[in-house]
Amino acid sequence: MNLKILNDNGSINIYEIKKEKFVDKNLKAKVSYISSSSKEKNALNIFTSYFSDSKSILFDDSNKLLVQKLKELQIPEFNTPSFHNTIFHNKDFSFVYFTSGSTGESTAALKTKDNIISEMKSLSTLLKKYEIKKVVVTVPFIHIYGSLTGLFYPYFNDIDIELREHFLPNDLLDAVEENTLVVTTPLYIKALNKSSTKKDLSKSIFLSSTAPLDQKDAKEFNEKFSCNIVQLFGSTETGGIAYKFNDESLWTPLKSVIIETNNNNELKVSSPFVSNELYEKEFINTNGKIQTFDYIESTGNQFKLIGRSSQILKIAGKRYSTIQIENILESQDLIEKALVFVKNDQKSLRGEVLDITLESKRIYTSKEIKKILQSTLSNLKFSMELKYVDTIPTSIVGKKLRVNI
């Protein structure tokens, strides 16, 4: 298989991905970090690390808290001579991925080769019928979704990879040929929906993850381009959990994934993809099981994802996810981004308050926002706090950082 880099100046770099071309015996079991703003450099280093049985910690170097944390842990940069023992030295892993930190401090998830290979087998089964011949990647490889689907899936299936450092929506459409898999995010799906360009993509497929994709956006894309979207639901710690197509409302667990719920109907995941160890301030053994805070409603062997239990507004016996509320607000032309929290307020008669922050081209009154929400969520009464900011911060994959602003 080949890795093809399309440079902004029109030149093309092509690398043949073979183990014998990347393996470096001096790197075996060495702990170091991989973090670059260059997708090309990260991809080559990740392959080198994998083939050399190295132990690499992947992270976004724009995250200054992580930069400081790794400095304190004395983790050297990949392929530098300053290797020495660290707290990760005796741990069993191939790569360490950090959570986005969207709900607070980042957690490190240790992934073994067995984790990676078992998830690739499951993903390969899911995508087999599409006879994919090329994978186009818009996401960074330092996150688990990018490296698993954008590097390891094509490698294990001998499929060529094509990428740019920065894809514009029309660049992406130009890159899609028959039997192409596009590994992307909801941001690109939404951008392509707004594009005036149309193209028949019926013989290709888009894979979307990192953030929820609104049903309306998924349906619009499917109808505009005659192209299926596979949405993946998972986390850094659990790996992939479930999938659904286009604007379906129910998620189907991936092969080898066992789902359960606790007494609060919060999702519990067991699978060969789950990290056996996590690191926060100390190492935590998961025993291959992760209890999430995702509230679900089970239907046979499928489930409906309502939202994080801490991000659900309960009114008159009904539950509304803050993600659902954000999607409704962001469907307004002048609202760029919305960030919604549920706050407990004992002074409020209803006990819960919607804390809404908007990045918007105009100022809406609280009455106008309530009217927008009530037109979709029915004429329900709720308490609300509303504020505006210039910018709602996002991660490098466009995921809103769910921290109070």
**Positive/negative CA dihedral, 193, 195, 199, 201:** negative
Q: Are 260 and 273 in contact (CB under 8 A)?
A: no
Answer yes or no: do 248 and 323 share one domain.
no
Q: Give the model's confidence band at 307: pLDDT under 50 very low, under 70 low, under 90 confident, else very high.
A: confident
**Residue 304 in domain:** no
- Tell me if 298 is assigned to some domain: no
Tokens 């308050």, residue located: 353
Query: In this structure, are 328 and 209 located in the same domain?
Result: no
Q: What whole-number distance in Å separates Cα of residue 199 and Cα of residue 173?
A: 8
The three-point CA angle 243-329-218 to 5° equals 30
241, 258, 292 - which closes a domain: 292
Lowest mean pLDDT among 4-8, 34-38, 316-320, 354-358: 316-320
Q: What is the pLDDT of residue 396?
A: 65
The set of residues, in sequence order, having a beta carbon less than 8 Å from that of 26 and lying 6+ positions away, is: none
pLDDT (0 to 100) of residue 404: 62
339, part of any domain: yes
Q: Are residues 378 and 253 in the same domain?
A: no
Residues 149, 245 within the same domain: yes
CB 112 within 8 A of CB 96: no
180-190: b or e for each residue (b if 16 or more CB lie within 10 Å)? bbbbbbbbbbb
> CATH no. for residue 373?
3.30.300.30
Query: 357, 338, 404, 394: which is closest to 100 by C-alpha?
Result: 394
Q: Are residues 288 and 335 in the same domain?
A: no
Strands of the 383-388 sheet, one edge to the other: 335-344, 352-360, 383-388
- Pairing status of strand 239-245 against strand 12-16: unpaired
pLDDT of residue 279: 93
Bridge-partner residues for 338, per DSSP? 358
312 band by pLDDT with thresholds 50, 70 and 90: low
At residue 349, the pLDDT reads: 46
| Spatial distance between the Cα atoms of 200 and 221, rounded to a whole number of angstroms | 11
The total of structural domains in the chain comes to 2
- The strands making up 302-308's β-sheet, listed across from edge to edge, are 258-261, 266-270, 289-299, 302-308
Cα 283 from chain centroid?
Answer: 23
Confidence check: pLDDT of 36 > 80: yes
Condensed to tens digits (0 to 9), the pLDDT of residues 121-146 reads: 999 999 999 999 999 999 999 999 99
Which has the closest alpha carbon to 298: 325, 327, 326, 258?
Answer: 258
pLDDT at 213: 87
Q: Which of 259, 292, 325 is the last residue of a domain?
A: 292
Tell me how far apart the alpha carbons of residues 377 and 320 are, in angstroms, rounded to a whole number: 8
Question: How far, in Å, are 311, 336, 377, 402 from residue 390 at the CA level?
Answer: 23, 10, 27, 16
Residue 356 makes CB contacts below 8 A (sequence gap 6+) with 325, 329, 338, 339, 340, 369, 384, 385, 386, 387
Strands 160-163 and 2-6, by their bridges, are: parallel
For range 350-370, the mean pLDDT: 87
Q: What is the mean pLDDT of residues 47-70?
A: 89
What residue numbers bound the domain in which 76 lies? 2-292
Task: Look at residue 401 and tell me if it is in a domain.
Answer: no
328 has a pLDDT exceeding 50? yes
* Alpha-carbon span 90 to 69, nearest angstrom: 19
* Same structural domain, 84 and 227: yes
At 260, give phi and psi (nearest 5°): -140, 175
Where residue 168 sits, what CATH number does that domain have?
A: 3.40.50.12780
Tell me, yes or no, whether 79 and 147 share the same domain. Answer: yes
Q: Evaluate whether residue 303 is within a structural domain.
A: no
Is residue 74 assigned to a domain? Answer: yes
Q: What pLDDT score was predicted for residue 12?
A: 95
134 touches 2 (CB < 8 A) = no
Backbone phi, psi, residue 100, to 5°: -65, -20
- Is the confidence at residue 378, as pLDDT, over 70? no
Nearest Cα neighbor of 368 from 397, 327, 329 is 329
Q: Could you tell me if 369 and 277 lie in one domain?
A: no
Hey, which of 96-105, 212-221, 376-385 has the most confident mean pLDDT?
A: 212-221
Mark whether 279 and 323 lie in a shared domain. Answer: no
Query: Do 330 and 280 belong to one domain?
Result: no
CA distance 208 to 246: 10
Q: Residue 50's Cα: distance from chain center in Å?
A: 21
In a domain, 405, yes or no: no
User: What's the one-letter identity of residue 134?
Assistant: K
Cβ-count burial of 194 within 10 angstroms (0-12 exposed, 13-18 middle, 19+ buried)? exposed
Are residues 371 and 264 part of one domain?
Answer: no
CA distance 214 to 330: 10
**238 and 146 co-located in one domain:** yes
Answer yes or no: is 215 within a domain: yes
